Structure 1
Amino acid sequence: MKITKPFLVLLVLLSACVSFAQSGKKLDKIIKRDYQIIECTVLKMSDKTVEYSLPGETVQISLDVSQIAKIDFASGRSQTFDTSPNATNSVQSTSSPNIVSAEKQHNTIAVLPIPYVNADSQQGSEDMAKFAQNDLYNKLLDKSSNIFPLTVQDLRTTNSLLHKAGIDHNNVDETPIEDLEKILGVDNIVAAKVSYTIGTGTTATTYDSGNTKVSNNNKKVTTSDISTTTANNQTYYYYTVYFDMYRNTDKIYSQTRKPLLALKDGWMDSISYLLKRSPIYVKK
């Protein structure tokens, strides 16, 4: 069969349209308990596993529901998985019998190191993890009357006990809350994580200036315009803040928030917002 040139052009256009439609397809998002986000297409769900495929692939991957905190479907529907210790889909306790327990201080809350991770490179910043932990610690101290009868464990005590147990911002997410409460000797824990990506944009500003000359007969006008354009590069920070609270190993509060403005310190406002809406906070 002879293929005419118009028909060949039509085939190319159809192919391009199909390719564009596929590339623009909205994806489901699986949010794991370790805060990793998987963009994919969910194919099948059961009481024990979720099967999905990655963009551009047909291989089906199976993930145990005990590793999943939430699924945001492309349709707009969300499904949250129970992560409490008694839930059927929760991770079994991996508490180590060799954990050295500190003396228990009741009605005491400890602030864990806050992982501060670049979502693109998965690289964390130790300095920012300590800064974020200190920021949340100070917020709790400032609002001590709002969280009564809880008292905040001194940050030096918290970090010293964690250091002795070999725990820092790199592995705190991997340590069971049961172990952390024993190590720190507290019955309340606040755990957060800051994940971010960086974007850039350019804005252009144009300045116009001109000189006007009028001829002797007042009829002919000559204008000399000078236009100057200045380009400014802007950096944008897109944050996702994860915020969890535990009491006697039970998760009593779990929220995720993205700041409204893509500012460098935008995550700090989200921490304040989530703290004030947590169950330990009472308005005065």
Structure 2
Amino acid sequence: MNFTKVITVIVLLFVSVFTFAQGGKKLDKIIKRDYQIIECTIAKMSDKTVEYSLPGETMQIALDVSQIARIDFASGRSQTFDVSAGTATSDNTGQVIAAAEMKPNTIAVLPVPYVNSGTMESSEEMAKFAQNDLYNKLLDKSANLFPLTVQDLRVTNSLLHKAGIDYKNIDETPIEDLQKILGVDNVIAAKVSFTITEGSTASTYNSGNAKVSDNNKKVKTSDISTTTASNQTYYNYMVYFDMYKNGTKIYSQTRKPFLNIKDSWMDSITYLLKRSPIYVKK
């Protein structure tokens, strides 16, 4: 073996040993409240900050504890952080739930699942439209909701998006968790279920010309009738309307609209809202 080959073998061995040593070293994990995970080596902790260094670096980075939900140490120990700016807890699956700062006397409108009960298909566009419609109804009647304040819809949807929640899995998330994520003590959870049926109607139009005989005794009539058929679409809705305060259901109603037209579910939403405990007649 010549000198060049010996050097090559030594270098390869060194790289292999170094790579193995790096890959075998366990790192600490910082789970931030925005769900970002930082793999690092924690050097120092205080009530205000956590200082850490990234793999292969010696420079230490300081992170405010208000941004941290949990730390999983390389030793296997975990620490969950509870700070005044927000809290971080775990659900029964062990998933970290970042909680927004609680705003008392605030109500949030959840996305409204809009589901065809025949095909079980849901519409994202209609779920957002229904949520926006309910939100606007609350704003229009804000004087009747005092002292409640309606949380801005963009804030609600942004917080839900960060938590990985949308119209598809909103029903699977406990209300207690939703209230922590949104930072509100009141929640409206509605759902629209529907089926579509087709029907036809027929209408007949009669027209006639009377003819009088010469002796004015007999009357002859020539009738002409026209029948017209038209197809109609019927929307059979069922609206579910639930209201929660501090994790407790305070109002739960279902309503079938009187009419079977396309937007009749909106009338049911208005009807149920005006009869809910939060609505005060002026």
Please say whether Structure 1 and Structure 2 have the same fold, judged by a TM-score greater than 0.5: yes
> What residue number does 1:156 align with?
154
- For these two proteins, the number of residue pairs brought into alignment is 192
- Superposed CA deviations along residues 89-128 of structure 1, whole A, max 9, x for unmatched, are xxxx747540111111111110000001111111111111
Equivalent position amino acid for 1:244 in 2: D
Higher strand share: 2
Q: How does 1:123-202 map to 2 (within 5 A)?
A: 123-202=121-200
**Aligned residues with identical type, % of pairs:** 75
State the alpha-carbon separation in 2 of the partners of residues 168 and 191 from structure 1: 13
Which stretch of structure 1 is more off in the superposition, 257-266 or 106-115?
257-266
The normalised TM-score by structure 1 is 0.64
Residue of structure 1 aligned with 2:101, choices 95, 99, 103: 103
- Residue 256 (structure 2) pairs with residue 254 (structure 1): no
> What residue number does 2:275 align with?
277
Q: Residues 145 and 248 (structure 1 numbering): CA distance in 2 closer, same or farther, change over 3 Å?
A: same
Equivalent position amino acid for 1:237 in 2: Y
State the alpha-carbon separation in 1 of the partners of residues 147 and 92 from structure 2: 31
Aligned-partner SS, 1:157: helix
Aligned-partner SS, 2:214: coil
State the alpha-carbon separation in 2 of the partners of residues 193 and 96 from structure 1: 28
State the alpha-carbon separation in 2 of the partners of residues 215 and 274 from structure 1: 67
Give the drift of 1:211.
2.4
Which stretches in structure 1 are left out of the alignment for 5+ residues? Answer: 1-92
Equivalent position amino acid for 1:245 in 2: M
State the alpha-carbon separation in 2 of the partners of residues 99 and 251 from structure 1: 21
Give the drift of 1:221.
3.8
Aligned-partner SS, 2:201: strand
The normalised TM-score by structure 2 is 0.64
Q: Residues 120 and 151 (structure 1 numbering): CA distance in 2 closer, same or farther, change over 3 Å?
A: same
Aligned-partner SS, 2:127: helix
Aligned-partner SS, 1:201: strand
Structure showing greater radius of gyration is 2
State the alpha-carbon separation in 2 of the partners of residues 221 and 278 from structure 1: 67
Which stretches in structure 2 are left out of the alignment for 5+ residues? Answer: 1-90
| Alignment RMSD (CA, Å) | 1.6
Aligned-partner SS, 1:168: coil
Residue of structure 1 aligned with 2:204, choices 192, 202, 206: 206
Aligned-partner SS, 2:272: helix
Q: Residues 266 and 120 (structure 1 numbering): CA distance in 2 closer, same or farther, change over 3 Å?
A: same
Aligned-partner SS, 2:97: coil
Aligned-partner SS, 2:122: coil
Give the drift of 1:155.
0.4
Q: Residues 180 and 95 (structure 1 numbering): CA distance in 2 closer, same or farther, change over 3 Å?
A: farther
